Chains A and B, each alone.
Chain A
Amino acid sequence: MPNLATELLPEFFLFLGIDFFIALALLTCVMDYFRRTVSYLYEAAAVFGYINMLMSREFIANFGEYMRFSYCFLYLTLALANVIGINVYLMVSKKSWGTAKAFASCITFPTILISAFFFSLYGKEVSHILTAALISSTMALGIGITFLVVPEKVKEWMGRR
């Protein structure tokens, strides 16, 4: 059996985060529920992630692996949180319940799964419990962002419910 496992650098998560932010930028641009600024904000976030990648390359000799993993994974977490947050926003928005459901199945769930998969690859010795815990935290973070950003929408939704 050939050895399929390859060494992952921490910067891979940064790369993954950039991809997620770019996807978000394009999606929010296409959908009508969001202002224009949101797309450009997400695009800026992707560029920010790229800049982080450059910094990582220049200081690869200086930063330790844990340091690099930390800010790369944090970046990925932020991206995931924003994916979840967008999904929640769509949920609480009156006109987009169906969109939310589609978004959840096509975007949110696969991104979380991919991230979990690569995290498990990277941290081979890390326990699955820790993985689950991290994912849960992400979800909570995402929901929390939504409450923070559009509390009125959430209250309205909860009131209706």
Chain B
Amino acid sequence: MDKRKRLDLLVLLLISVFVVAASASVYNYMYIQASPIGVQSPYIRFVSGNDTTSTLGSNATYAKITSMAGWPNATRVYEDALRIQNTDTNPHDVELMFDSWSGQTSSILYIYVKIFDSVGGAQQGSTLSVIAQNSTGTVTIPGSTTYYVQWEIRWNGGALSSYSVTVTLRLKVP
């Protein structure tokens, strides 16, 4: 085989490796995405808490709390603002993360979101601070168990009653 042929072969081999690997990965991804998970109901879902008025989306994978408020220079605590339910018999990990917020955010002293295993029970994971834009860390919800999301809201002294903020959190379910 002459030199030119060898070079050609090398080039072709290289291209082949890339193409085949890439194609396999894409196919694998598509396989996962196209698997019939989306057909099943989600095993982690939101449930309305007793302390607030919430609107839940289809399959309860989206929740909007519309009734929370705070007083300036005082902390308002909603121990049962929202609940996270694991409908599976197996435990699953979740992580509640900051996504975005808007409104008169500069007048908020703090908003803390905590996950508890019961109202007034033991806190699970870390405290999510909306100001710090962090997360609760991974929280494992046992099978067939509901956890409670607590909100603590404090407006700065001098905040007006016309002020409001909107806070969006993401519940990540790996």
A interface residue numbers (CB < 8 A to B)? 7, 9, 11-12, 14-15, 18-19, 22, 25-26, 29-30, 36, 39-40, 43, 46-47, 49-50, 53-54, 56-57, 60
Question: In the complex the two chains form, is B22's CB within 8 Å of A50's CB?
Answer: yes
CB-contacts of B1-54 with A (<8 A): 1, 4-5, 8-9, 12-13, 15-16, 19-20, 22-24, 26-27, 29-31, 33-35
> Is there an interface contact between B12 and A43, defined as CB atoms closer than 8 Å?
yes
Number of cross-chain contacts by CB at 8 Å: 64
Nearest chain A residue, comparing its CB with the CB of B9: A29
Give the contacting residue for B26; candidates A26, A40, A43, A53; CB below 8 A.
A53
**In the bound complex, do residue B30 and residue A56 qualify as a contact, i.e. CB atoms below 8 Å apart?**
yes
Known: A25-B12, A29-B9, A53-B26. 20 other contacts (CB 8 A): A9-B34, A11-B30, A14-B23, A15-B24, A22-B20, A26-B9, A26-B12, A29-B5, A29-B8, A36-B4, A39-B8, A39-B12, A43-B12, A43-B15, A46-B15, A50-B23, A50-B26, A53-B23, A57-B29, A60-B34
| A32 → B minimal CB distance (Å) | 9
- Chain A binding surface SS class: helix
A110 CB → nearest B CB, Å = 18
Total count of chain B residues near the partner, CB < 8 A: 22
Chain B binding surface, main DSSP class? helix
Cross-chain contact A29 with B27 (CB below 8 angstroms): no
Of the listed residues A15, A22, A54, the one surrounded by the most CB atoms of chain B closer than 10 A to its CB is A22
